[in-house]
Structure 1
Amino acid sequence: MSLDWIYWAISWILLLWHSAWDAIGVSAGTVLGTNWSWILAIIFLVVTLRVILFPIFVKQIKSQRAMQALQPQLRALQEKHKGDRETLQKEMMELYRKEKANPLMGCLPIFLQAPVFIGLFHVLRRLDPINEGKTRYGWTVDQFESATHARLFDVPIAGKFGSSAAELARLNASGASVKILAGVLVAIMIATTYLTSRQMILKTGWAEDPQQRMIQRLMLYGIPASLLVSGAIFPIGVVIYWVTNNLFTLGQQQWVLRKYPPPPTPSRLPRPGESSSRRTTDSRNAAQPGRPGRQPKQEAKPAGRFGRAKTTAAQPQKPAVDSRALAPKPGAKPVKPKKGRPAKRQG
């Protein structure tokens, strides 16, 4: 299948934005050794693409919310079919079909952006003086020559980290400066690619589905690691596109996740007849070491004369005194009280 239609579409958007910046005078000369009209054309190619794909991005977020809501049922299926992977996969596929959830929806925006990346890579790779007079995809000779000599900080955007000596000579570029700028941009590309995946996983959590978790690990570690090798063959203009796309994604994800936060995921499934307040109390007590459960409160003792609580269990009670035993016996002489002290009143 021919990909010429992709090359034509990318060229049309790129040239349209370059003409727009050229019309307002941005392309007149260079500032800081940079032809900003072409740099801005690449940046706004990203903006155009992300605006077109925004509805797909919203569907991606909704699909991730649906997958989160299915986590308890997925855990139950994993416990039920532990050791039977084939049956587990069938049950999970049936659950996805019933609930209209698609675990692959999270990768759809990347799949849709892949043709754009391939098209831009192909178009910018042709920016070589050896191809002068062989313009394609709607480029004029003047546009081709302008893009071929376009620079970012005196480094041609058609150059790459792995450019050969012959390519550098045709582009009139220094090998050291190309490698330094390309190396810095590739490092930023790898870091921002990792951060975009990490941002989403931190907000939504790791998936319970093994297939979905494998995709998350591939996005988080696999793609950034692959860029260590493939980044050497990307033209600087393509790396600019990738970095801009990652920065746009970080901002877009932050806005969407703040406006539509993911639902809280319960730590465990409730037991039959167990209330939510009881589960919350048990979880709090379990989190504190040395407290397996909440002890019943002891009843408060009434305060004594001097504000100290009376104890009934720790101290033995004094035997009660019989007042009748202290009374004088019939016929006995009354006992005279000592002088200076009032006589005790007999009861």
Structure 2
Amino acid sequence: MDIFAFPPLAALLDAAYGALAGLSSLLEPLAGASAAALAVILVTLLVRALLVPVGVSQARAEQTRARLAPKLREIQRRHKKNPERLQKEMLELYRRENTSPFAGMLPVLAQAPIVGLLYTLFLRPEIAGHPNDLLTHDLFGAPLGTSFVSAVFGGTASPATLLVFGALAVIMLVVADISRRVFRPAPVPEGAEDSPLSSPAMLRVAGALHYLTVVFAAFVPLAAALYLTVTVVWTLVQRMLLRRRYPLPEVTPAKTLAKTPARTEPLRRGGRG
């Protein structure tokens, strides 16, 4: 079923097409055939700028979750055999702190419709009954309406298409690797080693999620992949700046805590003598 066959969504798609096509026309003297690609970049930057306040709330939520982590682990330890009591105590803690376990997810949810619109705009040969002129645009010779997977398996992959998709993939892989290293999970404190969320398998899954955007970008039209590339770069820079503004509490690993008394005890005894 085509959801854009419904009149309200069809009107929304046509309005998005008109806005992007109009912006592309304004940029055409500057960018030529890549005007639509430049328009996608500018739209991405505008969307991310509008979402800066949401990014700030996301950083605050991340800081709050890190601060509440010891309390949550204690609740899980006390009520791990009583799921209903566990759920009630966790919700009560979130209520007292005026937060939610889902706080900070709005940036991802807010961008999903935009990616969906770009995907549709550069996939359809016709929009609201008229030809889709956006499909005539490219980025350095790579058509904006072509996806990497369809180009490779359809036998239409030109050197320009492979080069452009390869460059975007490299950028996203570098950003994903930096994000994985900079925003790795905090050390697990004593008493939390048996938590399923801190198991080696879950940590590997969390690390792999950073690279999921690269896989997704291979299946969408180049215009949507370009949006995703600009988004991940913006997100990395924004998160690094906000992490300085809203630092996470330091967590001392259990092994370090266990060794500290052994080193200080002789000094105490010497002081008594």
TM tier, shorter chain?
0.7 to 0.9
* Separation of aligned partners in 1, 2:203 and 2:265: 38
Once the two structures are TM-superposed, the CA of residue 227 in structure 1 deviates from its matched residue by 4.5
Alignment CA distance shift 1:234-1:189 (3 Å): farther
Once the two structures are TM-superposed, the CA of residue 159 in structure 1 deviates from its matched residue by 1.9
Question: Which of 136, 155, 158 does residue 149 from structure 1 map onto?
Answer: 136
Alignment CA distance shift 1:226-1:12 (3 Å): same
**Aligned-pair Cα RMSD in Å:** 3.9
Once the two structures are TM-superposed, the CA of residue 225 in structure 1 deviates from its matched residue by 4.1
* Separation of aligned partners in 2, 1:216 and 1:11: 41
Question: Which of 101, 104, 107 does residue 102 from structure 2 map onto?
Answer: 104
- SS across alignment from 1:105: coil
Q: When the two structures are superposed, what TM-score results if normalisation uses the length of structure 2?
A: 0.75
CA-to-partner distance for each residue in 1:229-286, whole Å, 9 max, x for gaps?
A: x433211121111101111111111221223323434668xxxxxxxxxxxxxx7892
Alignment CA distance shift 1:292-1:206 (3 Å): closer
AA aligned opposite 1:181:
V
CA-to-partner distance for each residue in 1:278-324, whole Å, 9 max, x for gaps?
A: xxxxx789249x73623333699xxxxxxxxxxxxxxxxxxxxxxxx
- After superposition, residues 45-84 of structure 1 pair within 5 angstroms as 45-84=43-82
Q: Does 1:189 align with 2:172?
A: yes
* Separation of aligned partners in 1, 2:51 and 2:107: 7
CA-to-partner distance for each residue in 1:166-210, whole Å, 9 max, x for gaps?
A: 977xxxx654542343244235335434644654446x7789896
What is the match of residue 20 of structure 2? Answer: 14
Q: Does 1:26 align with 2:18?
A: no
AA aligned opposite 1:293:
E
Question: Which of 131, 138, 150 does residue 163 from structure 1 map onto?
Answer: 150
Once the two structures are TM-superposed, the CA of residue 151 in structure 1 deviates from its matched residue by 2.3
Q: Does 1:294 align with 2:266?
A: yes
- SS across alignment from 2:238: helix
AA aligned opposite 1:54:
V
CA-to-partner distance for each residue in 1:22-63, whole Å, 9 max, x for gaps?
A: 4xx304x4xxxxx34222211111111112212211111121
What is the match of residue 320 of structure 1? Answer: none
More helix by percentage: 2
* Separation of aligned partners in 2, 1:198 and 1:7: 39
8 Å CA contact 1:200–1:253 kept in 2: the answer is no
- SS across alignment from 2:105: helix
Alignment CA distance shift 1:95-1:210 (3 Å): farther
Ranges in structure 1 where 5+ consecutive residues have no aligned partner: 30-34, 269-282, 301-347
- After superposition, residues 1-347 of structure 1 pair within 5 angstroms as 2=6, 3-4=9-10, 6-8=12-14, 10-22=16-28, 25-27=29-31, 29=32, 35-126=33-124, 131=125, 134-136=126-128, 144-145=132-133, 147-163=134-150, 174-193=157-176, 195-196=178-179, 199-201=182-184, 220-222=207-209, 224-225=211-212, 227-228=214-215, 230-265=216-251, 286-287=259-260, 291=263, 293-295=265-267, 296-297=269-270
Q: Which gives a bigger RCO, structure 1 or 2 (Cα 8 Å, sep 6+)?
A: 2
* Separation of aligned partners in 2, 1:118 and 1:218: 26
* Separation of aligned partners in 1, 2:149 and 2:50: 33
8 Å CA contact 2:40–2:226 kept in 1: the answer is yes
AA aligned opposite 2:244:
R
AA aligned opposite 2:169:
V
* Separation of aligned partners in 2, 1:227 and 1:113: 16
Instruction: Figure out how many residues of one structure are paired with residues of the other and give that number.
Output: 260
CA-to-partner distance for each residue in 1:130-173, whole Å, 9 max, x for gaps?
A: x3xx4439xx76xx43x3232222222222222369977xxxx6
Identity between Structure 1 and Structure 2 (%):
24
- SS across alignment from 2:265: coil
Alignment CA distance shift 1:55-1:298 (3 Å): closer
What is the match of residue 278 of structure 1? Answer: none
AA aligned opposite 1:18:
S
8 Å CA contact 1:191–1:224 kept in 2: the answer is no
CA-to-partner distance for each residue in 1:64-83, whole Å, 9 max, x for gaps?
A: 22212212321221221244
* Separation of aligned partners in 2, 1:285 and 1:231: 46
